[in-house]
């Protein structure tokens, strides 16, 4: 079939190929699901132009009186070119193009048509093909001239408007509403997990909310590789079912996410300073130790210090979420010392912590940063400090005392406000959380190895303290995150939440930095005796001191060994738990052991981090008390004491990972056990003979162990435990003989040593 020409072209004129492109929407019955379905059909019609005539279809020898002198070989070459480009002869009729208007071709899929329109159609045009795009052709694409982004801060620099888009014919077109519409129309293709699986080579067709001069809607094709980072970074595009505006209003803290957009290859018209903000948080440069720091920071600790300094520079808060034992306190002290050295610590820093951590902060501050003027707002004497808070560099208080003292403390502006073991404010309605949020500080920080213990609401509470309002109000957070994530497993909401919090959460697990750590890390945990222990300790100390001195007066120091050992044993037992010396002890207030309270806190944190713990005590009676605490909290454990007959079963259960805690007495388990599943050792009551203590630790730290082992020693501050620890460092042989009753040489205890061991509590 051919179109009649007004004149017959000469026989040597080559045909000009014309490709007519059209689409139509059809409805038909789908046998698979038994429903009527709608789908688009597309056709490419091939015809040949000879002068003013258009013909199509193969030439026929029997055709009478041909009006055009056609060139079959040239036409076949053009037809073959289409086949090589992936077209195939259409076997079904379609309304996409008028019947018998051209030789009809089809392609295998929508994606195939899109790739043709993007990659092959421009090549055909360049080769001289005429292209006739009919109204409604679904792949009528307008070229994209460029990609842009802008971030415009508001007058207060608290929020900014973000726009991401493309340039079409010199005009900006925001992509945000187009992409939001796309993810809601095709969630199966653009949900985060599905998006990750898709190839970067794919293209995505977008219909713009504007039209050509002939009223046809403009369409563009964009590479999936360029919109992936936009979708991955801006989870807001998934959150709302309502149409999205051209710009997205965000908190300034959200600028931390902007670095994720760089893979999209955007040209930034405005907001480069906010992009610098994002780079600073993403790069996490290390910092050198501040001058005067009494420790050499490990590489990951220098990174932590650099991160804390970056947060301060950008005036935002953050969570230092390192595992227990990785040095969160040291990194925080280094940060404060750097602030003091730079002259920025012109007002005090305040650290809020559990009561049991006060001595640890005091000890580490005295050891590593003696330049800092430190005051503990603890005990009845704390009120004397309230009138001169500004005279100190570092103030220490507790979660229990903070609500009581809030009226005084909120009058003092702080340079840095730190919550240690910040999970203590996981309930936002608690007195401690409410009080902490009332304090004024230039920078707020949280330290916790377990930023999330039970549910996402705890994380909201921490960030409500750090950056109030940044994760929205509690009800909105529950609606947008908790319910979709916790109840419905919504991966899009989870990805968005991670994207928001990750710049402000530095989380390092022990195994992440194991290569930087020595194989065995020893950490002293200082413990404060509680009121009941202090009272009984002092009573026992006075009574035993009289007996010891009377025995020395009668027999001399060298022959008074037994009575000295008895005195030290009783005092050590009081340090463990008052029930070891008075089984019916029931304090009028508080618990029977500050050390046991601290142990429970440690175990809860360690087990939340997935640690496997060996817990040693010299006293089987103490292990029995610890058992009671574990049972009360439904913590699984095994144990070996002198009464254990089947040692194999508890070892096998622990090594297999069935239980996280192994209770072991010194005599029964100090040797002969291989417990390489453990990565944490706790010495509840120290063994002053270093060899014996190391033998116990080596149940975990031995050949076959592929993890760094953390060793915690619980030492009661100001007691015989601390004094013997000092004595051991000076006279290890003497200390071993003193505590184990050995007859080895070196039992040269001086009266000054006895006086120190039996001295009153400070």
Cβ neighbours of residue 65 closer than 8 Å, sequence gap 6 or more = none
Q: Of all helices (H) and strands (E), which one includes residue 661? A: strand 661-665
Q: In this structure, is residue 48 part of a structural domain?
A: yes
- pLDDT for the residue numbered 306: 93
Q: In this structure, is residue 62 part of a structural domain?
A: yes
Asked whether residue 419 falls in the same domain as residue 342, the answer is yes
Asked whether residue 178 falls in the same domain as residue 239, the answer is yes
CATH (domain of 702): 3.40.50.300
CA–chain centroid gap for 404, Å, is 33
* Block residue for tokens 């070196």: 746
Buried b (16+ CB within 10 A) or exposed e, 449-461: bbbbeeebbbbbb
> Which residues lie across from 38 on neighbouring strands?
27
Q: In this structure, is residue 52 part of a structural domain?
A: yes
Residue whose C-alpha is closest to residue 258's, from 241, 269, 243, 271: 271
Pairing of strands 35-50, 53-55: antiparallel
> Which residues lie across from 506 on neighbouring strands?
320
Give residue 6's region: left, alpha or beta (phi > 0; psi -120 to 50): alpha
The 3-state DSSP class for residue 55 equals strand
For 118-181, the DSSP string reads IIIHHHHHHTT-EEEE-TT-TT-BPPP-EEEEEEEE-TTSSEEEEEEEEEETTEEEESHHHHHH
Q: Which domain, by its residues, includes 168?
A: 146-281
The sign one gets for the Cα dihedral 183, 189, 190, 194 is positive
Write the CA distances from 296 to 275, 289, 325, 518, 703, integer angstroms: 33, 7, 16, 14, 28
Cβ 216 vs Cβ 232: under 8 Å: no
Write the CA distances from 357 to 113, 275, 371, 506, integer angstroms: 67, 39, 20, 22
266, 281, 296: which is the final residue of a domain?
A: 281
Buried b (16+ CB within 10 A) or exposed e, 396-427: bbbbebbbebbeebeebebbbbbbbbbbbbbe
* Block residue for tokens 């050590």: 572
Write the CA distances from 135 to 169, 217, 221, 340, integer angstroms: 20, 10, 18, 71
**Could you read off the pLDDT of 688-738 as tens digits, one per residue?**
666 566 666 766 655 455 677 888 999 998 898 888 787 766 655 544 444
109, 133, 157: which is the final residue of a domain?
A: 133
Tell me the C-alpha distance between 299 and 286, whole Å.
8
Could you give the number of structural domains in the chain? Answer: 4
Asked whether residue 237 falls in the same domain as residue 357, the answer is no
Asked whether residue 276 falls in the same domain as residue 292, the answer is no
- pLDDT for the residue numbered 213: 56
Asked whether residue 364 falls in the same domain as residue 472, the answer is yes
Cβ 716 vs Cβ 598: under 8 Å: no
Asked whether residue 74 falls in the same domain as residue 156, the answer is no
* Block residue for tokens 């419905």: 488
Tell me the C-alpha distance between 559 and 567, whole Å.
15
499, 516, 533: which is the final residue of a domain?
A: 516
Q: In this structure, is residue 6 part of a structural domain?
A: no
Asked whether residue 506 falls in the same domain as residue 437, the answer is yes
Residue 280 tokens, joined: 């600073």
Asked whether residue 294 falls in the same domain as residue 276, the answer is no
Asked whether residue 343 falls in the same domain as residue 424, the answer is yes
Q: In this structure, is residue 489 part of a structural domain?
A: yes
- pLDDT for the residue numbered 343: 93
Residue whose C-alpha is closest to residue 419's, from 321, 337, 503, 515: 321
Pairing of strands 680-683, 16-30: unpaired
Tell me the C-alpha distance between 700 and 712, whole Å.
13
Cβ neighbours of residue 267 closer than 8 Å, sequence gap 6 or more = 146, 147, 148, 149
Q: Is 0.75 topped by the overall pTM?
A: no
Residue 694 tokens, joined: 């190391």
Residue whose C-alpha is closest to residue 650's, from 624, 628, 667, 668: 668
| Residue 479 DSSP symbol | I
* Block residue for tokens 């050198």: 288
The sign one gets for the Cα dihedral 617, 621, 622, 624 is positive
Asked whether residue 608 falls in the same domain as residue 710, the answer is yes
A 10 A CB-CB count for 661 gives: 24
C-alpha torsion 178→179→182→187, nearest 10: -160
Asked whether residue 475 falls in the same domain as residue 607, the answer is no
Cβ neighbours of residue 716 closer than 8 Å, sequence gap 6 or more = 526, 527, 528, 529, 533, 575, 594, 595, 722
A 10 A CB-CB count for 264 gives: 21
The 3-state DSSP class for residue 45 equals strand
Cβ 529 vs Cβ 577: under 8 Å: no
Q: In this structure, is residue 9 part of a structural domain?
A: no
∠ CA 431-434-437, rounded to 5°: 145
Residue 316 tokens, joined: 């935002």
Angle between helices 491-501 and 456-466 in degrees, nearest 10 = 30
Residue 524 tokens, joined: 């002293």
Cβ neighbours of residue 348 closer than 8 Å, sequence gap 6 or more = 389, 390, 392, 393, 394, 395, 412, 414, 415
Cβ 360 vs Cβ 367: under 8 Å: no
Pairing of strands 146-153, 267-270: parallel
Q: Of all helices (H) and strands (E), which one includes residue 48? A: strand 35-50
Asked whether residue 464 falls in the same domain as residue 548, the answer is no
| Residue 117 DSSP symbol | I
Q: In this structure, is residue 5 part of a structural domain?
A: no
CATH (domain of 438): 3.40.50.10810
Residue 617 tokens, joined: 């005590």
Q: In this structure, is residue 743 part of a structural domain?
A: yes
Residues (pLDDT < 70) of the chain are 1-12, 31-32, 60-66, 156-157, 210-216, 240-241, 452-454, 514, 516-518, 585, 587-590, 667-674, 687-696, 698-706, 728-749
End-to-end CA distance of the chain: 111
């Amino acid at each position: 079939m051919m179109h009649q020409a007004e004149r017959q072209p000469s026989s040597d004129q080559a045909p000009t190929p014309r490709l007519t492109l059209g689409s139509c929407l059809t409805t038909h019955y789908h046998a698979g699901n038994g429903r009527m379905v709608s789908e688009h059909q597309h056709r490419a019609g091939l015809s040949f132009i000879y002068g003013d005539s258009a013909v199509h279809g193969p030439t026929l020898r029997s055709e009478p009186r041909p009006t055009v002198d056609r060139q079959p070989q040239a036409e076949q070459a053009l037809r073959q070119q289409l086949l090589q480009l992936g077209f195939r002869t259409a076997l079904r009729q379609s309304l996409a193009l008028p019947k018998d208007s051209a030789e009809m071709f089809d392609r295998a899929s929508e994606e195939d048509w899109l790739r043709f329109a993007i990659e092959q159609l421009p090549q055909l045009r360049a080769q001289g093909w005429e292209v006739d795009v009919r109204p409604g052709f679904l792949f009528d694409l307008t070229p994209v001239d460029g990609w842009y982004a802008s971030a415009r801060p508001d007058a207060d620099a608290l929020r900014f408007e973000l726009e991401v888009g493309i340039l079409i014919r010199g005009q900006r077109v925001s992509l945000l509403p187009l992409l939001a519409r796309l993810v809601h129309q095709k969630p199966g293709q653009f949900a985060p997990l599905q998006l990750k699986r898709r190839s970067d080579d794919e293209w995505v067709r977008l219909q713009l909310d504007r039209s050509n001069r002939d009223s046809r809607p403009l369409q563009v094709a964009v590479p999936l590789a360029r919109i992936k980072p936009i979708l991955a970074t801006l989870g807001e595009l998934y959150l709302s079912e309502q149409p999205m505006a051209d710009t997205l209003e965000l908190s300034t803290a959200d600028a931390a996410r902007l670095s994720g957009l760089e893979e999209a290859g955007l040209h930034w018209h405005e907001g480069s300073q906010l992009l610098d903000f994002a780079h600073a948080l993403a790069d996490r440069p290390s910092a050198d130790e501040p001058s005067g720091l009494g420790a050499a920071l490990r590489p990951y600790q220098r990174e932590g210090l650099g991160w804390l300094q970056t947060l301060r520079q950008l005036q935002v808060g953050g969570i230092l979420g390192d595992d227990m034992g990785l040095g969160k306190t040291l990194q925080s002290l280094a940060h404060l010392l750097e602030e003091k050295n730079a002259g920025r610590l012109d007002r005090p820093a305040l650290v809020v912590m559990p009561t049991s951590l006060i001595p640890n902060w005091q000890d580490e501050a005295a050891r590593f940063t003696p330049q800092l003027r430190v005051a503990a707002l603890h005990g009845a004497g704390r009120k004397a400090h309230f009138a001169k808070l500004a005279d100190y560099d570092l103030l220490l208080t507790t979660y229990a005392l903070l609500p009581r003292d809030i009226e005084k403390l909120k009058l003092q502006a702080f340079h840095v406000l730190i919550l240690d073991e910040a999970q203590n404010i996981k309930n936002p309605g608690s007195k401690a959380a409410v009080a902490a949020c009332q304090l004024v500080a230039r920078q707020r920080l949280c330290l916790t190895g377990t930023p999330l213990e039970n549910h996402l609401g705890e994380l909201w509470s921490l960030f409500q303290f750090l950056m109030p309002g940044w994760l929205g109000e509690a009800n909105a957070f529950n609606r947008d995150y908790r319910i979709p994530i916790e109840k419905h497993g919504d991966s899009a909401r989870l990805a968005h939440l991670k994207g928001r919090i990750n710049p402000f959460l530095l989380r390092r697990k022990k195994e992440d930095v194991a290569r930087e750590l020595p194989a065995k890390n020893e950490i002293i945990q200082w413990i404060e005796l509680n009121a009941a222990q202090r009272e009984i300790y002092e009573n026992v100390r006075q009574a035993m001191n009289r007996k010891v001195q009377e025995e020395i007066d009668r027999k001399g120091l060298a022959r008074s060994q037994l009575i000295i050992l008895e005195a030290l044993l009783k005092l050590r037992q009081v340090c463990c738990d008052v029930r070891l010396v008075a089984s019916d002890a029931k304090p009028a207030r508080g618990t029977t052991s500050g050390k046991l309270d601290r142990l429970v806190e440690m175990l809860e944190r360690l087990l939340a981090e997935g640690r496997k713990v060996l817990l040693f005590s010299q006293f089987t009676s103490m292990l029995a008390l610890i058992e009671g605490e574990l049972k009360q909290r439904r913590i699984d454990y095994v144990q070996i004491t002198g009464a254990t007959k089947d040692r194999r079963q508890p070892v096998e259960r622990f090594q297999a990972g069935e239980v996280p805690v192994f209770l072991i007495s010194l005599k029964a388990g100090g040797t002969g056990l291989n417990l390489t599943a453990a990565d944490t050792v706790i010495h509840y009551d120290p063994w002053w003979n270093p060899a014996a203590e190391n033998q116990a630790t080596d149940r975990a730290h031995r050949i076959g162990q592929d993890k760094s082992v953390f060793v915690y020693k619980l030492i009661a501050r100001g007691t015989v435990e601390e004094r013997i620890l000092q004595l051991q460092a000076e006279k290890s042989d003497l200390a071993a003989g003193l505590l184990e009753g050995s007859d080895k040489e070196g039992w040269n205890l001086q009266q000054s040593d006895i006086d120190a061991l039996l001295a009153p509590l400070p």
